């Protein structure tokens, strides 16, 4: 497991159910959700997830921060192509 690079999750709205441990799998590469969060500058006030009033606290801004530090800037074309490939596999 990934110990979150000693990030200090002190955001008053952040409730981590995993004691600050973030799964390795979610920080291996950019996903469409991470790209969407990055594109709105991790602004939870305009995020559709926040507006949907889900019962969980989103950790995506922390994931984006880790991705920027470990993977660099996202490649939107590659992410969109990967999502299209996944959809093609589901349909096939």
Q: What per-residue confidence (pLDDT) applies to 20?
A: 61
Beta carbons of 66 and 26 less than 8 angstroms apart: no
Query: What gap in Å lies between CA 23 and CA 47, rounded to an integer?
Result: 22
Report which of 82, 88, 31 is spatially closest to residue 60, judged by C-alpha positions: 31
pLDDT along the chain (92 residues), means of 10: 42 53 81 91 86 74 92 88 74 71
Q: How many CB atoms lie within 10 A of CB 75?
A: 14
Could you tell me the residue ranges of all domains in the chain? 4-91
Tell me how far CA of residue 59 lies from CA of 22, 25, 26, 86, 87, in angstroms: 9, 14, 11, 23, 25
């Amino acid at each position: 497991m990934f110990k979150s690079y000693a990030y200090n999750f002190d955001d008053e709205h952040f409730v981590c159910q995993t004691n600050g441990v973030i799964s390795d799998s979610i920080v291996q590469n950019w996903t469409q959700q991470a790209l969407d969060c990055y594109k709105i500058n991790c602004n939870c006030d305009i995020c559709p997830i926040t507006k949907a009033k889900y019962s969980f606290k989103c950790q995506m801004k922390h994931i984006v921060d880790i991705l920027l530090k470990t993977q660099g800037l996202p490649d939107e074309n590659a992410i969109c192509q990967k999502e299209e490939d996944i959809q093609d596999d589901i349909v096939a």
